Amino acid sequence: MDWKNVTISNNFIFPNHKLRESYIIFICLFDPFGLNLPKYTFTAHCEEHLDLKLEDGASRIFLNCNGDRHKTTKALANLLDYIAHGTVTDEYTATIDNEVVNFREDDGKERLFMTYQQTLMEERMFAREEGREEGREEGREEGREEGREEGMLEQIKKTVLRMLKRNTPIEDIADMNDISIEQVKEICKVAAMSK
C-alpha cells in the first residue's frame, strides 16, 4: 500500500484530518479515450452509487494535445498547442518557453537532469536484476520441494510394493501409508505394466 492510500485510510479513521488536494497529470500527444476532449478529469466515486464520492482530494487529469480546442479555455488550448508544436501564443507559454530554453542552455541543469535519468535507469536495472534473482531462488526452492515430494512418493511406492509381496491386505496398506485404496491399486497397476 502506498503512502497516499495509507493517508486515505487514515482519513476514515481520523475524520477531522483533512487531506491536501493532489493532482496527477498525464500529458498525452494522443487522445487516450477517443472522445476528442482536450482534458479528461477523474475523481474517485463509488461505481455502485455515482453520487457517493471518496473525499480523498485526488484528481487525475489527462491532457490531450489533439483534443478539440473549442471545448476548453483559451489558456489551456494555448498550453496544449505549445506542448504539441512548441508554438508560443501568450504570456504563459512565452514564460514556459523561456524556462525550457534556459534549462537547455544551462549545462549544469542538463547534467543534473541526465544524472537523474541515469539514476532512474540504474534503479530500474537493479530492480529487474533483484526480481530475476528472487525468481531464480523461488524456482530453486520449488524444484527442491518437488524433488522432496517425488522422493517421498517413490518411497511410498516401494513400501506399497513390498507390502503387496508380503500379501498385506490393500486396506491395511492404504491405512499404513496414509493413501487411498485407489492409489494402492494404481501403484499395483503401474508396477504390473512395467514388468
Give me the residue label for grid cell 517421498. Answer: 152
pLDDT at residue number 113: 66
Binned at pLDDT 50, 70 and 90, residue 123 comes out as: confident
115 assigned to some structural domain: no
Task: Give how many domains the chain has, as a whole number.
Answer: 2
Cell of 109: 541543469
Residue pair 91/78 in contact (Cβ under 8 Å)? The answer is no
pLDDT at residue number 82: 95
47 assigned to some structural domain: yes
State what percent of residues in the chain have pLDDT above 90: 29
Q: How far apart are CA 38 and CA 24, in angstroms?
A: 16
Give 85-107 pLDDT, tens digit per residue.
999 999 999 999 998 888 778 77
Among candidate residues 29, 45, 72, the one where a domain is terminated: 72
52 assigned to some structural domain: yes
Cell of 4: 497516499
95 assigned to some structural domain: no
169 assigned to some structural domain: yes
Q: Which of these ranges, 20-24, 101-105, 106-110, has the smallest mean pLDDT?
A: 106-110
Domain of residue 143 covers: 128-194
166 assigned to some structural domain: yes
Give me the residue label for grid cell 500500500. Answer: 1
Task: Identify the bridge partners of residue 41 per DSSP, sorted by sequence position.
Answer: 61
CA angle 177, 187, 153 (to 5 degrees): 55
Pairing of strands 39-43, 58-64: antiparallel
